[in-house]
């Protein structure tokens, strides 16, 4: 008698594969849901019921997200950057925005992509900026109503009721907040009044025996000081060097004035020929101060122009590592120059 045939086992591989794929998909969906909940859908931390957030001109989503992640305000920054790249498709718009309690991170990111959402406009005027750069900033700011920035300088100053022939140096650098749609005329008038107040206050409290004929010459000096050093503790030292040179009848011989006089001809380098080429601003070829400021000086630079240090230094040169070396005689100055050149060669 023959034995009955055993039933063949069915192949369970397709079923197992399907279950594996299903479990993987469920896991992936759960993971994405968790990440979304902890990143885009997370509530943005707000101090109080609402908070104003300022976005600078040129600020990027990537940099903003990185800063928030560093401060611990958001999680999974890569997810936020992908959302901006593939969903928002736009750049951050400068302005001051109101973020309310309960808004998600996604809503906040969306908010910054439309300038119409801005409550106020933030305008950053950097110390040492030239008037030309300030005008360019206002011209390209979509939240500023244009009235005077396209006028020639003489007409602009007349429209602003400013009793000077040249606009350089007359406007205070700082960070300002204006209503969205504020006119350039109102903004420039405000910056001018702030600068004049700073100048008047400093002039009233100035040191004795300064070589300035009037406060405008002090403003010219302040602009030179501003361009010569970015180190606050050196401002009065730089001022002292130039004040002593003026008293001694020495030429100021400062490169920033040469650069300003070159205008658009300056491309990043100064040659020996540039130093020898006369312009009204070339302090290697003229005596005394140039005819106008060469930049917008800060209040700190204005104060330094009124209060030079009391040393005997009449020279200074960059160290090559930040800051300057100040010296009182030519031999020490030449050694400092050689030290600077040695540092520069070692870095190449």
- Say what the pLDDT of residue 82 is: 86
Residue written as token pair 């009793």? 163
Residue count (the chain): 348
Q: What is the DSSP letter of 151?
A: S
Give the span between the Cα atoms of 294 and 252, in whole angstroms.
14
What angle (nearest 5°) sits at the alpha carbon of residue 303, between those of residues 240 and 256?
60
Whole-angstrom Cα Rg for the chain: 31
- Say what the pLDDT of residue 47 is: 83
The residues facing 53 across adjacent strands are 97
Q: Are 281 and 263 in contact (CB under 8 A)?
A: no
- Say what the pLDDT of residue 138 is: 95
Give the span between the Cα atoms of 125 and 129, in whole angstroms.
7
Nearest Cα residue to 297 out of 176, 162, 195, 189: 195
Residue 58 burial (CB count, 10 A): 10
Name residues whose C-beta falls within 8 Å of residue 261's C-beta, 6 or more positions apart in sequence. Answer: 279, 280, 281, 282, 290
Q: What are the 10-residue block averages of pLDDT along the chain, 348 residues in total?
A: 52 66 66 65 86 85 91 86 86 88 90 86 91 95 92 96 96 89 94 97 96 97 96 96 97 96 91 94 97 97 97 93 92 93 84
- Say what the pLDDT of residue 256 is: 96
Q: Parallel, antiparallel, or unpaired for β 324-327 and 315-318?
A: antiparallel
Give the span between the Cα atoms of 4 and 198, in whole angstroms.
109
Give the span between the Cα atoms of 275 and 135, in whole angstroms.
28
């Amino acid at each position: 008698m023959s034995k009955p045939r055993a039933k063949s086992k069915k192949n369970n591989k397709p079923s197992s594969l399907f279950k594996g794929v299903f479990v993987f998909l469920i896991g992936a969906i759960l993971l994405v849901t968790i990440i979304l909940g902890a990143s885009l859908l997370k509530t943005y931390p707000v101090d109080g019921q609402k908070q104003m957030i300022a976005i600078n001109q040129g600020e990027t989503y990537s940099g903003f997200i990185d800063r928030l992640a560093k401060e611990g305000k958001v999680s999974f920054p890569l997810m936020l950057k992908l959302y901006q790249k593939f969903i928002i498709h736009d750049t951050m718009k400068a302005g001051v925005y109101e973020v309310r309690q309960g808004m998600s991170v996604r809503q906040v990111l969306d908010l910054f992509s439309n300038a119409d959402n801005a409550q106020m406009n933030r305008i950053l005027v950097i110390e040492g900026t030239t008037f030309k750069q300030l005008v360019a900033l206002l011209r390209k700011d979509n939240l500023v109503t244009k009235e005077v920035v396209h006028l020639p300088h003489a007409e602009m100053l007349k429209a602003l009721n400013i009793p000077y022939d040249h606009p350089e140096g007359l406007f205070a650098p700082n960070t300002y907040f204006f209503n969205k749609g504020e006119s350039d005329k109102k903004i420039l008038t405000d910056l001018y009044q702030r600068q004049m107040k700073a100048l008047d206050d400093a002039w009233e409290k100035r040191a004795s025996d300064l070589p300035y004929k009037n406060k405008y010459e002090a403003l010219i000096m302040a602009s030179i000081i501003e361009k010569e050093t970015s180190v606050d503790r050196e401002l009065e030292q730089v001022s002292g060097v130039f004040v002593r040179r003026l008293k001694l009848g020495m030429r100021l011989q400062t490169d920033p004035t040469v650069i300003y006089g070159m205008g658009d001809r300056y491309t990043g380098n100064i040659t020996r020929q540039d130093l020898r080429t006369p312009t009204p601003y070339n302090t290697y070829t003229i005596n005394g101060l140039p005819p106008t400021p060469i930049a917008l000086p800060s209040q700190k630079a204005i104060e330094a122009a009124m209060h030079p240090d009391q040393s005997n230094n009449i020279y200074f040169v960059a160290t090559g590592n930040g800051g300057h070396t100040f010296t009182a005689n030519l031999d020490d100055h030449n050694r400092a120059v050689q030290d600077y050149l040695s540092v520069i060669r070692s870095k190449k």
